[in-house]
Structure 1
């Protein structure tokens, strides 16, 4: 029997072999907040019947169902692969580094067609009984990563789902020992692709990756459920860099509107040999939209530079993840 509060909740995920087909969760996420829920559309008859003062309950119909929501997590040194694959699109197999226990996942930007998840959450009643809510056909619509002084690397994943199934058996959650990436491990680099150098004065960083999709594919003959969303716009990558004004590097890039490669990385403890735990976002071309420094008082000048990620014509954005995970 679980604790009858959020202390007894759980969130498990699995990659689906086909959109909307349940797969029992294989990974369990330590989350901080979630809002996944069934969304339903109903229609109520407005037919006139002599003497009837209220709409008739039997003439209300459920015309379509879907699922929506988000969840917040701390980005950890294990068990992130399935989420990163569903976000970025590339089918990834971790690559062992030499004969060590370190495995590198390289999630390069690609189409997300066919990349869907089953997400199962357990919600405790006050009695301690945990109720099952299983969301199938879950597509990641966006993910935002952020870290600030003194904080952990956090991520928010926005989800669109096909349906909520409450008839599945709630999986027994198991958790591998994990630790979060944090500000003390963070570096931000800029420069020519492949030779980026560290920037000084960075206090906070965020990157948002949006995967626009047509989530309104409701057709006749589908029992009120949608077909797999299809990408219907270019990927949008945006972010911000909050700094102390210790150098003009970013300011000059804003002025010239020149492109630079941006690397945002977190380097954790050593796994083996020269291979450390790592989480790295590589954006081969960004341009700064706004954020030139202004003085608004006696304190240190603290510009925040907003940027957009673009294609450099050769290299795709990617997320590199080094861990001991031998599989996603």
Structure 2
């Protein structure tokens, strides 16, 4: 074993804070999971002692938190999407043997689903895996980024009830056949009429602006509460976090200025639908392709009107908010066509 033989696995809990064995293991880029204790030092005066006493240092509150960043692949990320948005279903696609469509949307209920995340670390020079098990994990926010000449990335941020080092290490087992998704697999439409995805069909429609879109990102912060701490729980949160009343969805496009479609949509504060689709050429089932699709039915632009660029082609930085158009359906959809049989 080497210092690089580290692992991250995730499993969905049935009881908040009761750890489970990971059922999915992730090929990840970075993680920052850490214990977050709060200590208080007794201030009582004592003859002959000018320093705080070691036996008067007490733990008053504890939790854990951190981020996890992964590259976007066509298999094995279901639990991250489910944890981030809050709700997900997996359905067999008719006529496509062995193909499933997973559809993720923001949760309707206010109580978040919790997960256990276990990481395994190695001493320098190799060793048996050293487990750190983070229990009662709730995804607080996430961001998907796709940029010119790069691999698509998914970053999720987490809040945990506690961390444990006594739970046995679960050896990783990775999804086979996962394909990496990059900028070259992507297509984007902004505007037009979009037919929303269903449990078995991807979204269709939309209008592709003439502008060349160089990068895209969108984030969702569920605004979980910071309550639930009380007597009898050892300084830990005593209940699952709940989602805030108003979630915050945002995004950004960078485009080359070649028409006034986005400028005018910004000036007029027009409602726009945005669809971003990453699809590989591999055939699964009879005619399906592994796909990750993001659909934002209603965005409003906050960006900028074009500015000169010293004679060089003009780029526009176009920020947007994800809003609720008060029509049937969701404010965000992530649809995944995959051979994964379950989330």
Give the TM-score range, shorter chain: over 0.9
- How far the C-alpha of 1:247 sits from its partner, in A, is 2.4
Work out whether residues 10 and 123 of structure 1, in 8 Å CA contact, stay in contact via their aligned partners in 2.
yes
2:321 matches 1:308:
yes
Give distance in 2, aligned partners of 1:246 and 1:240.
18
Between Structure 1 and Structure 2, the one with more strand by share is: 1
Give distance in 2, aligned partners of 1:118 and 1:214.
19
Specify the alignment match of 1:107 in structure 2. 104
Name the Cα RMSD after superposition: 1.4
Residue in structure 2 matching 1:29, options 9, 26, 29: 26
- How far the C-alpha of 1:42 sits from its partner, in A, is 0.7
- How far the C-alpha of 1:214 sits from its partner, in A, is 0.7
Give 3-state SS (helix, strand or coil) of 1:263's partner: strand
Give distance in 1, aligned partners of 2:94 and 2:33.
37
Work out whether residues 98 and 339 of structure 2, in 8 Å CA contact, stay in contact via their aligned partners in 1.
yes
Give distance in 1, aligned partners of 2:78 and 2:186.
20
- How far the C-alpha of 1:101 sits from its partner, in A, is 2.0
Work out whether residues 90 and 100 of structure 2, in 8 Å CA contact, stay in contact via their aligned partners in 1.
no
Specify the alignment match of 2:300 in structure 1. 287
TM-score normalised to structure 1 length: 0.95
Give distance in 1, aligned partners of 2:159 and 2:96.
40
Specify the alignment match of 1:268 in structure 2. 280
Residue in structure 2 matching 1:49, options 46, 49, 61: 46
TM-score normalised to structure 2 length: 0.91
Give 3-state SS (helix, strand or coil) of 1:8's partner: coil
Unaligned runs of 5+ in 1: none
Unaligned runs of 5+ in 2: 196-204
Q: Deviations over 1:167-188 (max 9, x none)?
A: 1011101112322111011111
Give distance in 1, aligned partners of 2:90 and 2:217.
27
Work out whether residues 92 and 98 of structure 2, in 8 Å CA contact, stay in contact via their aligned partners in 1.
no
Give 3-state SS (helix, strand or coil) of 1:303's partner: strand
Specify the alignment match of 2:209 in structure 1. 199
- How far the C-alpha of 1:52 sits from its partner, in A, is 1.0
Count, aligned residues: 325
Give 3-state SS (helix, strand or coil) of 2:89's partner: coil
Specify the alignment match of 2:79 in structure 1. 82
Give distance in 2, aligned partners of 1:108 and 1:215.
23
Quick one: structure 1 residues 97 and 183, their matched pair in 2 at CA, closer, same or farther if it must change by over 3 Å?
farther
Specify the alignment match of 1:59 in structure 2. 56
Q: Deviations over 1:105-130 (max 9, x none)?
A: 01122236241110001121114122
Give distance in 1, aligned partners of 2:94 and 2:314.
43
- How far the C-alpha of 1:29 sits from its partner, in A, is 0.6
Specify the alignment match of 1:126 in structure 2. 124
